[in-house]
């Protein structure tokens, strides 16, 4: 009888979890510090930096905690994750686009017109 032993834990190693935890803490503290200290003079630069760090933190969570990579289940887990991310991105961008266009194309109402409603 042949036994097959996995050398890699099914849910990641302690090292992977520690790395993910430390990186997550760092990627949370940096944006907090940026906002509280006003280190960047431009609000847009601060916003872009926070957005980029948030995207990096998403990758850290997916790799270190969800263990999504091209090796797991022959890449199907990664493919499903990418598909989900694309659908969520299309939904968010589409919603913002529709809301923006509705706001731009609305007829402005004065206070008198609102009171007559």
- Using one digit for the tens of pLDDT, what is the confidence trace for 27-38? 999 999 999 999
The span from the CA of 46 to the CA of 37, in Å, is: 11
The span from the CA of 64 to the CA of 14, in Å, is: 10
Global pTM? Answer: 0.65
Instruction: Quote the Cα angle for 70-22-44, to 5°.
Output: 85
- pLDDT tens digits, one per residue of 20-60: 999 999 999 999 999 999 999 999 999 999 999 999 999 99
């Amino acid at each position: 009888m042949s036994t097959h032993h996995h050398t890699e834990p099914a849910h990641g190693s302690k090292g992977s979890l520690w790395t993910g935890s430390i990186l997550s803490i760092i990627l949370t503290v940096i944006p907090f510090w940026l906002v509280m200290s006003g280190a960047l003079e431009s609000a847009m630069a601060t916003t872009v930096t926070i957005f980029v760090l948030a995207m990096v933190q998403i990758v850290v969570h997916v790799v270190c905690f969800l263990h999504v990579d091209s090796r797991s289940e022959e890449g199907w887990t990664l493919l499903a994750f990418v598909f989900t991310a694309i659908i969520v991105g299309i939904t968010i961008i589409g919603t913002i686009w529709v809301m923006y266009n509705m706001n731009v194309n609305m007829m402005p109402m004065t206070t008198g017109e609102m009171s007559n409603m």
